[in-house]
Structure 1
Amino acid sequence: MNQATNSFVQPTQVSFTSGGQQCRADFYRPGDSGPFPLIILAHGLGGVRTMRLGAFAERFLAEGYACLVFDYRHFGDSEGQPRQLLDINKQLEDWQSALNHARTLAEIDPAKIVLWGTSFGGGHVLAAAAKDQGVAAVISQGPFTNGLASTLAVDPVVSMKVTAKAIQDRVGALFGAEPVMVTVAALPGETGLMSSQDAYTGFMNLQSDGQKALNYVAARFALDIIRYYPGRKAKDIKVPVLFCVCDNDTVAPAGPTLKYAAQAPKGEIKRYADGHFDIYIGDAFERVVADQIRFLRQHVPV
């Protein structure tokens, strides 16, 4: 299928239930008759689906793959209060709920569902696929795999300031206080969950015109990230997994990811001389999406 076949196909806005609340999503459906293989996509830390995920979905759509691109609860168009609450267990539940919903769609081949996650979502898809053995394949892009490694990548002084906010937020939540927010992507030296040289510019480059994502989350999340090691689940995934690893990743260090990827029974590794945010745009995007399409054609053909 060539790019022109689906060039004018617009996604349909849909929703599915997760934890009694609605996750909003964009459903991209190829123009011909199904059933289609489906790719489920979601973003990383503080990201929403308008932040360049549509660019990937459009490329996959042109190859004949349906795509379901969703926002986690508490983010974007999805329900959930308080807003901007990043809860790891809830986000993993959202992935499972998206899978459950996809399997009910008449035009989808339930034996050909692929999980695609990037950054923090790249770790989530490893955990989700290890738990649900019914997926066909996994694409883990620039993945967060090791909480300690990502924590140590942050300037120690900044990390202390973030932790102080996190404790304040967690204690306040016990008494019903409004969340204490922390910046997601900050300039170097400023207080934020990501404050490397490329973090702020990279995060802002993903913003779409007229749909600016909020650059903050409830600070309590910082107390949980250090205890999250989704990379350890790679060894339990029995289906093909493509790890797209950025050698110059300042947010999700490549070293631990390469170690975990080597343990995946059907793992494939593609390495890029790029930074964490580079692979969403420009030439780096073209390279990574081409590798992902080759992987899909091989393991989950249309």
Structure 2
Amino acid sequence: MTVTFAVDGATCAASRFRAECDDLRTGRGVPCVVMAHGFGATRDCGLDAFAGEFAAAGLDVLAFDYRGFGESGGVPRQSVSIARQLADYRAAVAAARGLDGVDPARIVLWGASLAGGHVLVTAARDPAVAAAVSLVPMVDGLAAARHAAGHHRSGVLARSALTAARGRPVRLVGPPGSGAVLSLPGQVEAYTAMAGPSWRNEIDPRAMFEITRYRPARQARGVRSPLLVQIADLDRMSPPHAAAKAAVAARAEVRRYPCDHFDVFPGNPWFAQAVKHQLLFLRRHLQEAK
């Protein structure tokens, strides 16, 4: 089911998945998970697989596209603004609280990669959320840039920076040597395998400058809600050490997996384990909040 909500004169599109059982229902309704994806991704890039698991466990889900991406409105297109994405996330939480049948006191934040950082910021600013899940989170943009530079042995980062200075769009993912923002071995195959029909392999490269300045780990100490942080120990995109430090600061529950960034997404070896841990965490804390 597609629903929409307004943000600053534009419209964000979202998919609503309804709870398929009453395991977590009270007289106030069911919990709702607000889901957002990572860098350049859209809600049809594998979020439905996570959402299906949550719905089967008795949770509603609202998975949304940021303005400028997927089926959401807004311009510029394919351009990452941290402030705008955080505003979209707050608006999605407000929309979820107003959905029929949803318990507004049991809203769950869920984010992967870049949105994993948004979860920390949003949870710190909204102590009323019931729980939060941060999957392979990007919590320190400067650390992520240094981490990426350690893996790139070509001049791809320098070329992308030059393209950014010229204001030209670039491919988001591509094979090694292609000049795409994400071009480590295996990244194009992993990303495109989960890509949905609304996804575009294009990004404003100035997003890299936005992300380098973004350090959501600094908000971690302000998180008061129960938080699950899931770290891929071989992650070539989101530095594992930065995620671990943020998790400690937020007093989070931590799960670690011996894999790379995309290996926890649908169709990959660690997806089932990652979802299992999310459901164990959510059932425990949402039952306590009933």
Q: TM-score, normalised by structure 2?
A: 0.92
Among residues 213, 218, 233, which one is paired with 2:199 in the alignment? 213
8 Å contact kept, 1:181–1:216: yes
TM-superposition CA deviations, 1:48-88 (whole Å, max 9, x none): 01111000000000000000010000000000122211111
Residue 108 of structure 1 corresponds to which residue in structure 2?
Answer: 102
Residue 160 of structure 1 corresponds to which residue in structure 2?
Answer: 158
TM-superposition CA deviations, 1:131-159 (whole Å, max 9, x none): 11111111000111111121121337211
Report the more deviating stretch, 26-35 or 234-243: 26-35
Report the more deviating stretch, 234-243 or 154-163: 154-163
CA distance in 1, matches of 2:88, 2:103: 20
Among residues 213, 223, 233, which one is paired with 2:209 in the alignment? 223
CA distance in 1, matches of 2:273, 2:105: 28
Report the more deviating stretch, 117-126 or 180-189: 180-189
Offset of residue 102 of structure 1: 1.4
CA distance in 2, matches of 1:186, 1:150: 19
Offset of residue 192 of structure 1: 2.2
Residue 270 of structure 1 corresponds to which residue in structure 2?
Answer: 255
Residue 269 of structure 2 corresponds to which residue in structure 1?
Answer: 283
Report the more deviating stretch, 39-48 or 78-87: 78-87
SS of the residue corresponding to residue 229 of structure 2 reads strand
8 Å contact kept, 2:106–2:129: yes
Report the more deviating stretch, 280-289 or 93-102: 280-289
CA distance in 2, matches of 1:207, 1:113: 27
Residue 254 of structure 1 corresponds to which residue in structure 2?
Answer: 240
8 Å contact kept, 1:139–1:242: yes
Residue 297 of structure 1 corresponds to which residue in structure 2?
Answer: 283
CA distance in 2, matches of 1:52, 1:188: 24
8 Å contact kept, 1:29–1:61: yes
Report the more deviating stretch, 241-250 or 223-232: 223-232
SS of the residue corresponding to residue 203 of structure 2 reads strand
- The yes-or-no answer on 1:130 pairing with 2:118 is no
Offset of residue 90 of structure 1: 0.5
- The yes-or-no answer on 1:120 pairing with 2:114 is yes
Residue 3 of structure 2 corresponds to which residue in structure 1?
Answer: 14
CA distance in 2, matches of 1:232, 1:196: 28
Among residues 45, 53, 56, which one is paired with 2:39 in the alignment? 45
- The yes-or-no answer on 1:148 pairing with 2:142 is yes
Residue 17 of structure 2 corresponds to which residue in structure 1?
Answer: 28
Provide closer, same or farther for how the CA distance between residues 185 and 104 of structure 1 changes in structure 2, counting only shifts above 3 A: same
8 Å contact kept, 2:19–2:54: no
Q: Between Structure 1 and Structure 2, how many residues are aligned?
A: 278
Report the more deviating stretch, 182-191 or 104-113: 182-191
8 Å contact kept, 1:151–1:159: no
8 Å contact kept, 2:174–2:187: yes
CA distance in 2, matches of 1:31, 1:253: 36
Offset of residue 201 of structure 1: 1.3
8 Å contact kept, 2:262–2:268: no
Offset of residue 212 of structure 1: 5.6
Percent identity between the two aligned chains: 36
Gaps of 5+ in 1: 1-11, 170-179
Q: TM-score, normalised by structure 1?
A: 0.88
SS of the residue corresponding to residue 270 of structure 2 reads helix
CA distance in 2, matches of 1:195, 1:45: 14
Letter in 2 for 1:272: Y
SS of the residue corresponding to residue 170 of structure 2 reads strand
After superposition, the CA RMSD in angstroms is: 1.5
Provide closer, same or farther for how the CA distance between residues 134 and 83 of structure 1 changes in structure 2, counting only shifts above 3 A: same
Among residues 160, 179, 188, which one is paired with 1:191 in the alignment? 179
8 Å contact kept, 2:70–2:198: no
Offset of residue 232 of structure 1: 1.8
8 Å contact kept, 1:234–1:261: yes
TM-superposition CA deviations, 1:218-249 (whole Å, max 9, x none): 12212211111112211110011100100010
8 Å contact kept, 2:80–2:210: no
Letter in 2 for 1:119: S
TM-superposition CA deviations, 1:149-200 (whole Å, max 9, x none): 211213372111111111221xxxxxxxxxx212212222331222222321
CA distance in 2, matches of 1:139, 1:289: 11
8 Å contact kept, 2:134–2:227: yes
